[in-house]
């Protein structure tokens, strides 16, 4: 949602290695951002902080499966393979 230069490079490498399409989307208003979660099957969040991941909460609220880096404090809420990864 706000990818750093390092995450942009990592996403390009992921795309090149896996052949899976990756889209880094520009920032939009909150309502459009939530609609993205509602349309998505998965919502991927990569962060370096220990705080709560708002994108995980948004994904869960809008029905997409959150996939979050292990740095967020939401780990107890997610049952791996059941309601997130």
Do 40 and 64 contact (CB within 8 A), yes or no? Answer: yes
Q: Give the span between the Cα atoms of 66 and 57, in whole angstroms.
A: 8
Overall pTM > 0.85: no
pLDDT digits (tens, 9 = 90+) for 52-83: 878 888 998 999 988 887 766 777 887 888 87
How many residues does the structure list for the chain? Answer: 85
pLDDT digits (tens, 9 = 90+) for 25-56: 888 899 999 999 999 988 888 777 767 878 88
Do 46 and 22 contact (CB within 8 A), yes or no? Answer: no
The alpha carbon torsion through 50, 54, 58, 64 (nearest 10 deg) reads -30
Check pLDDT > 70 for residue 85. yes
């Amino acid at each position: 949602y706000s990818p750093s230069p390092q995450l942009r490079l990592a996403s390009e490498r992921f795309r090149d290695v896996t052949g899976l399409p990756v889209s880094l989307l520009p920032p939009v208003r909150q309502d459009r951002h939530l609609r993205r979660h509602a349309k998505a099957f998965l919502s991927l969040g990569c962060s370096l902080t220990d705080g709560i991941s708002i994108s995980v909460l948004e994904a869960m609220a809008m029905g997409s499966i959150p996939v979050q880096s292990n740095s967020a404090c939401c780990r107890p809420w997610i049952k791996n393979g059941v309601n997130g990864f």
